[in-house]
Amino acid sequence: MLTKYLSVFFISMVPIIELRGAIPIGVGLGLPLWQVYIIAIIGNMIPVPFIFFFARKVLEWGADKPVIGKFFTFCLEKGHKGGEKLKAKAGRGLPWALLLFVGIPLPGTGAWTGTLAASLLDMDFKSSVRACMGGVLLAGCIMGVLSVLGVSAFGAVVA
């Protein structure tokens, strides 16, 4: 039983998959939704401070390196360009825009990407964490409902 909970926890920490994959897996493993929800949120939020404080520094450090430089420079430029567009459109509502971006349960729109974007946009840490946490809670609710409906529908088809 512990291995099922640890699986949910560690899957929710993986970039791109995050809690969008962890919640359906946990529900599919037969774990109670409320427990899966809490564990997935904790696992998804643990990397956020590390991403916020170190990802930008790593990208800037690697931008002039021979093998990885082009990719890191591309990531920085893409982030700055997209961030400026988002800032122009969202204005003072940038934290809300970040919350909604993270809350959309699609690959690539989770806490990892949202936190990196917040770091590149020079948002303050407190606003970034609040927005990401709100987005993770929203995505968790959406994925929880979809997971329960999906397991129920699958059970009805198989029975």
> For 43-71, how does the pLDDT look when each residue is reduced to its tens digit (9 = 90+)?
999 999 999 999 889 989 999 999 999 99
Q: Which of 51, 33, 27, 36 is CA-nearest to residue 6? A: 36
Query: Using one digit for the tens of pLDDT, what is the confidence trace for 91-125?
Result: 888 999 999 989 998 877 889 988 988 888 889 99
Residue 156 contacts residue 136 (beta carbons within 8 Å): no
How is residue 48 written in tokens? 């956020």
What is the Cα–Cα distance from 39 to 10, expressed in whole angstroms? Answer: 9
- 34 falls in which pLDDT band (50, 70, 90)? very high
Is the CA virtual torsion 33, 34, 39, 42 positive or negative? positive
Cα 131 from chain centre: 11
